[in-house]
Structure formats: structure tokens, C-alpha cells
């Protein structure tokens, strides 16, 4: 994502969300930890710069598809998918508030496992991934970026 980093402590959504540390970068976004001050839960917020997006029509379409897909999948209340919590817009950015995967990505978990994952642990993660994929496929959503 092009643009400057968001400041920690920034408040979004009429005082509902407080931005924390940066968790990572995507193809056209930055993701931050945030706190839903109303519900008292931690979440993640994906920040997408509007100007960058508008210069790349394909990315703008991809963001719309992502939000639409997340809305469909979130209605399933599946514990193995990332659910959309809120979507916001400012004069400069779009904000997608979603569940926080606090343990990191599956790649992070594998990397931290000294000697690799045990067969049992790997089968647990694989089963969860398949259950999540089944849930999104039942909503006619195809995930085109499965990792690792």
C-alpha cells in the first residue's frame, strides 16, 4: 500500500475503534491491531488508501469483491473464517474491521514450531482450514489466495 503509516492511538468510526500496532502489509493495504472501545474486544483493521486504489481500477474491484465476500461469509458465523465486523470510510481511506487472528498466520505458526508441526497438530489445522473453505464455498465464495 502506498501512503504513510497510520498513527497508533488514532480513533476511527465516531470513537468506536482505537488503532494499535501495525500487524502487516497486503497487496494494497496495511493491517493494524485495534480495539473496539464499545464492545471491549480486540480486532484487526485493514486500511486501504483511496487515492492508491482509484489509480488501480482492478484493485478497486478486488476490494469490492473482498468486502462483498466477507459480508456473505460473516453471516455464517463460522469459527474458521475471518468475519467482517464493520466497514468505514474517511476522506482518505477505507477501513475494514474484522476478526483478529491473534496467533498470527498459519505460516507464522509453522515457522515458530521447532522441528515442524506434529502430525496431529498439522491435521487439526488442516481440518479447520477445510471446514472454513467448506463454509465459504457454501456461500458461493471462492478463496483465491490460500496460504501456505
Write down the catalytic residue from 14, 25, 99, 145: 145
Domain assignment of residue 143, yes or no? no
pLDDT of residue 1: 43
Question: For the whole model, what pTM was predicted?
Answer: 0.84
* Contact between residue 88 and residue 69 where contact means Cβ atoms under 8 Å apart: no
Assess whether 14 carries a catalytic annotation.
no
Domain assignment of residue 97, yes or no? yes
Per-position pLDDT tens, the chain of length 148: 445 666 777 888 888 999 999 998 887 789 999 999 999 999 999 999 998 888 888 888 888 888 998 998 888 888 988 899 999 999 999 999 999 988 777 778 888 888 778 899 889 989 999 999 999 898 888 877 777 6
Domain assignment of residue 147, yes or no? no
Q: Which three cell numbers stand for residue 89?
A: 470510510
For residue 113, give the DSSP letter: S
DSSP secondary structure, 5-47, as one string: PPPTT-EETTTTEEEEEEEEE-SS-EEEEEEETTTTEEEEEEE
Domain assignment of residue 34, yes or no? yes
pLDDT of residue 45: 95
pLDDT of residue 123: 92
Domain assignment of residue 3, yes or no? no
Q: How many domains does the chain have?
A: 1
Domain limits for position 80: 11-138
The CATH number of residue 109's host domain is 3.30.200.20
Amino acid at each position: 500500500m502506498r501512503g504513510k503509516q497510520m498513527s497508533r492511538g488514532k480513533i476511527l468510526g465516531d470513537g468506536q475503534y482505537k488503532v494499535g500496532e501495525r500487524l502487516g502489509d497486503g497487496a494494497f493495504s496495511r493491517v493494524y491491531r485495534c480495539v473496539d472501545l464499545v464492545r471491549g474486544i480486540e480486532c484487526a483493521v485493514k486500511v486501504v488508501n483511496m487515492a492508491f486504489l482509484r489509480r488501480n481500477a482492478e484493485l478497486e474491484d478486488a476490494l469490492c469483491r473482498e468486502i462483498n465476500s466477507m459480508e456473505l461469509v460473516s453471516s455464517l458465523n463460522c469459527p474458521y473464517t475471518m468475519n467482517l465486523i464493520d466497514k468505514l470510510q474517511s476522506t482518505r481511506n477505507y477501513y475494514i474491521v474484522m476478526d483478529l487472528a491473534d496467533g498470527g498466520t498459519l505460516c507464522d505458526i509453522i515457522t515458530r514450531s521447532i522441528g515442524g508441526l506434529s502430525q496431529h497438530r498439522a491435521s487439526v489445522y488442516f481440518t479447520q482450514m477445510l471446514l472454513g473453505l467448506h463454509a465459504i464455498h457454501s456461500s458461493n465464495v471462492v478463496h483465491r489466495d490460500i496460504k501456505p
